[in-house]
């Protein structure tokens, strides 16, 4: 059925002088939405993270519009060009290379500048690796009752990685992040060595694409999985289940552990316990145990 046959699309409100943030497929072209196609056909111009990459997408659907390169290195300057066009009453769209703009992609600065200039920004939802992975996560999301934290791309710097690992280890929410094929093996082995053996992990590779792979396993099973996996090529998304509180610890343990971990590089266990006890009203015994847990987690690294 042709796009023009969907009369409801003709009833869509398309305010002039507005920026449309349009989600595009993350791999499978079939995931483009009817509304996205309607918007991209209707706007006066399209700002793209990479005009060469987007040209193939637009050509596939017969969309011919003037395009503006707007990426992380020229986002502020590009935003001013878009704002000028909006001030002339034009409609513009923004698309990143794949998925929803602003999710570990350029777009946030553009939106901020356009909104500061007094123009409307309209979301056109669609494909996202985060929501796609969550939808098939099952047991990995169960313990956190739907709550999660998105961490973007796994950091390259050791200090930032260590901080994230500690956060993931102690946080009760499911943690989600992206990783490249160049570092995925090392990152997965680090998670296996750092987390409790039974912690649930989902590994998603090339979501929505021909060689899509989704595996759910315990941290302890990662080394064995890596020995038998057919390929580590492509883009990865990782979900790590939140930490479950044991029967003998208070619900606030993970939050207290973050406090203690922040103090750990500067103070000994007794000093940390004293600070926690005085500042947070904990008993000395409880505060000291939290301090020992923090020191132990750091030593494990």
For residue 138, give Cα distances in angstroms to 143, 240, 261: 10, 12, 30
pLDDT greater than 80 at residue 289: yes
> Given this model, what pLDDT does residue 208 score?
97
Instruction: Name the one residue in this structure whose structure tokens are 């700002």.
Output: 47
Read off the CATH number of the domain in which 109 is found: 3.40.1010.10
Could you report the per-residue pLDDT of 59-75, keeping only the tens digit for each?
999 999 999 999 989 99
One domain for residues 46 and 100: yes
248 part of a folded domain: no
247 part of a folded domain: no
Coil vs helix vs strand at 283 = coil
One domain for residues 150 and 106: no
Final residue of a structural domain among 97, 127, 157: 127
Read off the CATH number of the domain in which 185 is found: 3.30.950.10
22 part of a folded domain: yes
The DSSP symbol for 99 reads B
One domain for residues 154 and 119: no
Residue 149 tokens, joined: 């934290």
pLDDT greater than 70 at residue 250: no
245 part of a folded domain: no
23 part of a folded domain: yes
One domain for residues 9 and 119: yes
Final residue of a structural domain among 240, 266, 282: 240
One domain for residues 48 and 144: no
Closest CA to 241 of 112, 147, 128, 124: 147
115 part of a folded domain: yes
Final residue of a structural domain among 98, 127, 156: 127
Residue 283: pLDDT band (50, 70, 90) is: confident
Residue 245: pLDDT band (50, 70, 90) is: low
Coil vs helix vs strand at 36 = helix
Contact 47, 70 (CB under 8 A): yes
How many domains are there within the chain?
3
One domain for residues 265 and 204: no
Q: How far apart are the first and last CA of the chain?
A: 57
Residue 61 backbone phi and psi in degrees, to 5 = -105, 15
**C-alpha–C-alpha distance, residues 67 and 39, integer Å:** 14
> Given this model, what pLDDT does residue 278 score?
77
Instruction: Name the one residue in this structure whose structure tokens are 């992206």.
Output: 178
pLDDT greater than 60 at residue 300: no
2 burial (CB, 10 Å; 0-12 / 13-18 / 19+) is exposed
One domain for residues 89 and 114: yes
One domain for residues 136 and 236: yes
Domain containing residue 292:
253-300
One domain for residues 9 and 83: yes
Closest CA to 155 of 195, 196, 187: 187
Lowest mean pLDDT among 38-42, 136-140, 259-263: 259-263
One domain for residues 108 and 221: no
Contact 48, 69 (CB under 8 A): yes
One domain for residues 176 and 90: no
In the chain, count H helices and then E strands.
13, 10
296 part of a folded domain: yes
Residue 30 tokens, joined: 């079939």
For residue 258, give Cα distances in angstroms to 141, 172, 188, 298: 22, 12, 23, 12
Q: From its phi and psi, is residue 145 left (phi > 0), alpha (psi between -120 and 50) or beta?
A: left
23 burial (CB, 10 Å; 0-12 / 13-18 / 19+) is buried
One domain for residues 113 and 144: no
Produce one character per residue of 30-54: b if its CB has 16 or more CB atoms within 10 Å, e if not: ebbbebbbbbbbebebbbbbeeeeb
148 part of a folded domain: yes
Could you report the per-residue pLDDT of 145-202, keeping only the tens digit for each?
889 999 999 999 999 999 899 889 888 899 999 999 999 999 999 999 999 999 999 9
Residue 173 tokens, joined: 């929410």
């Amino acid at each position: 059925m042709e796009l023009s046959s969907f009369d409801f699309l003709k009833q869509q409100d398309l305010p002039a002088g507005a920026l449309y943030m349009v989600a595009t497929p993350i791999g499978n072209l079939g995931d483009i939405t009817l509304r996205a196609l309607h918007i991209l056909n209707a706007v006066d111009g399209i700002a793209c993270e990479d005009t060469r990459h987007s040209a193939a997408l637009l050509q596939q659907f017969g969309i011919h519009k003037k395009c503006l390169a707007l990426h992380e290195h020229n986002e502020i300057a590009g935003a001013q060009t878009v704002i000028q066009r909006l001030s002339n009453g034009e409609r513009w769209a923004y698309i990143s290379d794949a998925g929803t703009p602003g999710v570990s992609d350029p777009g946030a600065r553009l939106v901020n500048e356009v909104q500061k200039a007094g123009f409307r920004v309209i979301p056109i939802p669609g494909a996202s690796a985060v929501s796609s992975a969550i939808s098939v996560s099952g047991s990995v999301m169960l313990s956190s009752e739907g709550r999660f934290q998105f961490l973007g791309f796994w950091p390259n710097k050791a200090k930032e990685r260590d901080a994230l690992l500690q956060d993931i280890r102690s946080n009760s929410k499911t943690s989600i992040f992206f990783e490249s094929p160049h570092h995925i093996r090392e990152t997965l082995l680090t998670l296996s060595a750092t987390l409790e053996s039974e912690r649930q992990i989902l590994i998603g590779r090339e979501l929505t694409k021909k060689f899509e792979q989704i595996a759910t396993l315990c941290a302890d099973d990662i080394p064995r999985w890596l020995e038998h996996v057919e390929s580590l090529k492509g883009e990865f998304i990782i979900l790590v289940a939140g930490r479950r509180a044991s029967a003998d610890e208070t619900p606030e343990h993970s939050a207290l552990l973050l406090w203690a971990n922040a103090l750990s590089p500067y103070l000994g266990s007794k000093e940390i316990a004293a600070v926690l006890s005085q500042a947070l009203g904990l008993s000395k015994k409880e505060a000291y145990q939290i301090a020992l847990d923090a020191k132990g987690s750091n030593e494990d690294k």
